């Protein structure tokens, strides 16, 4: 099977009309969009998705942010797509993310303490397969 990754356009990206910009970058890079769905995420699903973060102090605000609107869940495929999309995504903090990356080009700090960073991308092949099973159990 070709390598796959799980990408989310987070609620800030959806609200700001950036779904198309994110998809454009994925496709322009040459990765294939295999699955795509706009939906809301509930707290139980988020707790699975962010299992490594549930006990962190920022988790409650992460839940508030991620449930504040629709997200777009995407499976993208291609050689090295997991690492490749992490590079395209940029650093977690949008102010630190390099220009040219999604977070660097579209994100910034806002005066509400949340990190609004537009996208999620799996950080390893094992995380990608784990996350794909959560978001697209049939895939
Ligand atoms: N996050 C946050 N506050 C923090 C750290 C992380 O709100 O202090 C959120 C942010 O949305 C981030 C997500 O939790 O994208 C996952 O954090 P991680 O460190 O795994 O960053 P990522 O892998 O998304 O770059
Ligand atoms: Mg992470």
Ligand 1, residue 116: give the atom nearest the CA.
11
- pLDDT at 113 (0 to 100): 76
- pLDDT at 31 (0 to 100): 98
Question: Residue 45's beta-bridge partner residues?
Answer: none
CA of 30 from ligand 2 middle (Å) equals: 23
CA of 109 from ligand 2 middle (Å) equals: 18
Residues 134 and 49: beta-carbon distance below 8 Å: yes
83-103 pLDDT, tens digit each: 999 999 999 999 999 999 999
- pLDDT at 112 (0 to 100): 74
**CB 123 near ligand 1, within 6 Å:** yes
Does the active-site annotation cover 113?
A: no
From the list 3, 2, 6, the residue with the least C-alpha distance to 123 is 6
**Domains within the chain, CATH numbers bracketed:** 2-135 (3.30.70.141)
Ligand 1, residue 91: give the atom nearest the CA.
25
Q: What are phi and psi of 60, to 5 degrees?
A: -55, -40
- pLDDT at 36 (0 to 100): 98
pTM: 0.97
């Amino acid at each position: 099977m070709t390598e796959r990754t799980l990408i989310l356009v987070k609620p800030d990206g959806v609200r700001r009309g950036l779904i198309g910009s994110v998809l454009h970058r994925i496709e322009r890079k040459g990765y294939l969009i295999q699955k795509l769905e706009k939906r809301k995420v509930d707290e139980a699903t988020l707790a699975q998705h962010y299992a490594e973060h549930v006990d962190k102090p920022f988790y409650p605000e992460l839940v508030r942010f991620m449930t504040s609107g629709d997200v777009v869940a995407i499976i993208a495929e291609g050689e090295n797509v997991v690492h490749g999309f992490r590079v395209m995504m940029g650093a977690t903090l949008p102010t630190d993310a390099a220009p040219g990356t999604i977070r660097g080009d579209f994100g910034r700090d806002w005066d509400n303490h949340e990190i609004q960073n537009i996208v999620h991308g799996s950080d390893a092949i094992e995380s990608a397969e784990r996350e794909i099973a959560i978001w697209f159990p049939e895939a």
